[in-house]
Amino acid sequence: MRDRGLIIVYTGDGKGKTTAALGMALRTVGWGGKVLVIQFIKLWKTGEHKAVEKYIKDITIIPAGSGFVGIMGDKKSKEEHKASAINAFELAKKEIMSKKWPLVILDEINGAIEGKLVELKEVLALLASKPEEVTVVLTGREAKSEIMEAADLVTEMKKIKHPYDAGILAKKGVDY
């Protein structure tokens, strides 16, 4: 029972979803495990990606998305975003089933589901069939109720105050 992998969801409109998942990744590595992070929206290297490449060999981060969808000057078609998300999901399925990673983080997959880039029923099928020993973490705003129902742990990050609301953009080293 102790070694059973969990399904964990970090959702909500507050900051800290990816950060919480990466904290769990550090714990996994600390106990000798390997971690795979597949980023469903990000296509660039973030600060955490650069730190992992430089210092932590047992965490692999794959930015598999096509960037933000429909905001921040996005010029890609919905089809391009969907193709990237589907490729990321196919990779996630393969890697989860490989049992190579005790922890797999599907970063921003909730947004990919909400944006209809990935099918909810396919994600639920993956969660239902995942190997028992693998823990899967799903992050992103607007987690579907079906995803939360399938989870063992759900944490909602709630925004109380955010600098973006005052016109302050994301800060390097703090937000990415």
Residue 50 placed within a domain: yes
Q: Band the pLDDT of 170: cuts 50, 70, 90.
A: confident
Count of alpha carbons within 13 Å of 37, Cβ hemisphere only?
31
Residue 172 placed within a domain: no
In this prediction, what percent of the chain has a pLDDT beyond 70?
92
CB 138 within 8 A of CB 7: yes
Range of the domain at 133: 7-166
| Mean pLDDT calculated for residue range 48-54 | 92
Phi, psi (5° rounding) for residue 90? -60, -40
**Number of domain units in the chain:** 1
Residue 82 placed within a domain: yes
| Mean pLDDT calculated for residue range 28-39 | 98
| Mean pLDDT calculated for residue range 4-18 | 97
- Exposed, middle or buried by CB within 10 Å (0-12, 13-18, 19+), for 1? exposed
Q: What does the pLDDT look like over 135-144, one tens digit per residue?
A: 999 999 999 9
Residue 159 placed within a domain: yes
Residue 171 placed within a domain: no
In this prediction, what percent of the chain has a pLDDT beyond 90?
72
Per-residue tokens: 125: 């099928």
- Average pLDDT along the chain: 92
Q: What does the pLDDT look like over 90-120, one tens digit per residue?
A: 999 999 999 999 999 999 999 999 999 999 9
Residue 70 placed within a domain: yes
pLDDT at 65 > cutoff 90: no
Of residues 175 and 65, the one with the higher pLDDT is: 175
CATH at 49 = 3.40.50.300
Residue 175 placed within a domain: no
Helix runs in the chain, H state only: 17-30, 47-55, 78-98, 109-114, 120-129, 145-150
Least trusted range by pLDDT, from 106-110, 158-162, 169-173: 169-173
pLDDT at 157 > cutoff 90: yes
CB 64 within 8 A of CB 38: yes
pTM for this entry? 0.91
pLDDT at 70 > cutoff 70: no
Least trusted range by pLDDT, from 10-24, 57-71, 155-169: 57-71
Task: Give the Cα separation of 131 and 153 in Å (integer).
Answer: 17
